[in-house]
A and B are shown apart, each in its own frame.
Chain A
Amino acid sequence: MRDTSRPVPFARAARAVFDLALEGMVWSRRSLFMAVLLGLPIVFAIVYRVVLATHIPPRVTPFDLYGLLVVPYYLRFAVPLAALFYATALIADEVEGKTLTYLLTRPIRREGILAGKFAAYVVTTLSLAMPAVIVTFFALMTVRGRTGLGAAVPDLLRDLGVLALALLAYGALFTLMGVLLKRPLIPGLLFVFVWELLANLPGYLPRLTLTAYLRSLVRHRPAEEGLSEIFGQVLPAALCLEVLAGAVIVSLAAAAWIFSTREYVMDQ
């Protein structure tokens, strides 16, 4: 028999919340929208394969196109957006739906709730993003047969790792925003589409963004124009990994601390 005077152990609590959150997260309208957003490159790849590669002289190689989809589309747009919509809603949805009380009145530690929900976010977004990247890769890289496929595989594996890291880093940051702010969506959008543009500026400013570190970890360097073309920086991989890991740990720790100490008053 469990000692009911003590809260459920952290791991068990987190697992229970994970199961519950995963059920609500994967099968939702948000996931349908995100699946379309993250799966859009597959459509591009098929169009390229069926139409562009056969009828029109290709202006970009399949690998170039894949690089274009990984860096500007996934890393710069779709992944931050997916993280924003899921991670800011981890707690905000419970507050808005007035269901947070049911969680908080259970004998489980609040950190366990956050950990379970964050794990569900990671599993959901990885489940949507990873297959899309893999299918896009194969759809594009086999346009001209298997030539060059083997040589591009290390890039695919690296890209998958970096995208997972991006989901973790953005997810942790937006989880923090979600517990810190009442309406985190607008600041989150500003962060993704305004603040992250600093990555294209000279000097040390790019180091204040997540994009600069993530972009430096992939090998694709798509042709860019304007500031990013002139000042584009590639930061050392070790520094990138350290900073991103630090961002994840600090953001999650801060989010857990705020969530565990904050008093939530449900509007009637």
Chain B
Amino acid sequence: MTRSRLVVLSSLVVVGVGVVGALGALYFDPPRAAVGPLPAKGLALPGDTQFVMGFDVHRFVASPFYQRFGKDRQGQGRPPGFTELEEKTGLNPERDVDRIVFAGRSVDKGPEGGVILVSGRFDRTKLSRAIETESKGVTFKSHEGTTVYLFREGAGARSGAVAFLDDDTLVLGPRAGVEATITNYAGGKAPVRANASLMALLESVKPGSTFWAVGDQSVLSRLPLSIPGAAGQGSVSLPPIKSVVVTGDLEPMVAVELTGEAVDSKAAQNLADVVRGFVALASLQASQKPELKDLASAVSVTTDATRVHVNVRVPYELIDSLAPKRPVAADGAPEGR
């Protein structure tokens, strides 16, 4: 074998091993059944889920946003209540919670229609005891072999429930939604997969986003098709949107990407024009409030066939400039520091 062929063969081996390893990771990794950012356990959510939102707690806690705005400036550097929560339940949300997923259901199921999945590391005994002793009116029952804690059991649709789906996943929400999730998980069912459009949207979410949200036509069809115009004059018609995908990151700046799919390219262009119009209005306001000029330039709107992409990238310096100034203490330092 010649040297050149040896080089090519070596390269082929590296590529082969890499691709096999990658496919292995895809197959054997715990989130192997995951769809985009939705973890495998998220597939057990109720089948009538219409929109899903996710939140990467670790990324959020590590972000400059949390360092600036999330912490209690007057306390121990943690949000109020976290210390008490940790004492009672052993749960330190900053450290122990990995991810929160909220699955929204149709509006006719009421505002309590959504189910929340919290993934992390929990002291199950301490947390269970805290639920039993600290909350009033809590009852519990077994559903598919899983203990479900019920809050205000007699309140009908308003009754809430919480249960451990497994050692590292909590499910919260209305009783029906929690029980449906437990049933699906216990039976290995993935009813959310039946919603093909939602699955496709989930797969389009940028991996590694700090927060994300997807919704399909079934939830967007309930949005108003017109909004009041500037200075209350008339109204602005909004073209119908088929789907929306929102992803966001908080490092190194607050960056939100919103992708909306309109029914056709003309509607997409109209939608983009509406957004551009609002950005232009903000720019006009810049003469009175100069920091709005930077905010307006932080928004970009592009179209791609039937899709509209809105990118908002706001540096923390700009957020600081928009925030109301704190009163300055006598020594010149802002109060509360």
Q: Which residues of A contact B (CB under 8 A)?
A: 22-23, 25-27, 57-64, 123-124, 126-128, 130-131, 134-135, 137-138, 146, 148-157, 160, 216, 219, 221, 223, 229-236
Contacts and interface: CB of A to CB of B under 8 A. Distances in A.
Contact of A59 (B36, B59, B252): B252
> Which applies to chain A's interface (DSSP): helix, strand, loop or mixed?
helix
Central interface residue in B5, B18, B27, B255, by most chain A CB within 10 Å: B18
A223 B313 contact: yes
Given A216-B304, A233-B302, A233-B303, 17 more contacts: A22-B5, A27-B4, A61-B208, A126-B11, A127-B7, A127-B12, A138-B21, A148-B31, A148-B208, A151-B36, A153-B25, A229-B313, A231-B302, A232-B300, A234-B307, A236-B304, A236-B305
Interface string B22-49: 1101111111101011000000000000
B228 interface: no
A232 B302 contact: yes
B158 interface: no
Nearest to B309: A234
A175 B312 CA distance: 41
Contact of B255 (A152, A155, A223): A223
Interface of B: 2-5, 7-8, 11-12, 14-15, 18-19, 21-23, 25-32, 34, 36-37, 59, 62, 206-208, 249, 251-252, 255, 257, 300, 302-305, 307, 309, 311, 313
Given A57-B62, A230-B300, A234-B307, A130 B29 contact: no
Given A134-B14, A157-B22, A26 B34 contact: no
Contacts of B59: 61
Contacts of B208: 61-64, 148, 152
B3 A234 contact: no
Contacts of A137: 18, 22
A138 B18 contact: yes
A135 B37 CA distance: 24
A150 B25 contact: yes
A91 B3 CA distance: 23
A24 B314 CA distance: 52
A232 to B, nearest CB: 6
B252 A155 contact: no
A150 B252 contact: no
Given A61-B208, A151-B207, A221-B257, A135 B7 contact: no
B21 A150 contact: no
A153 B305 contact: no
Nearest to B7: A26
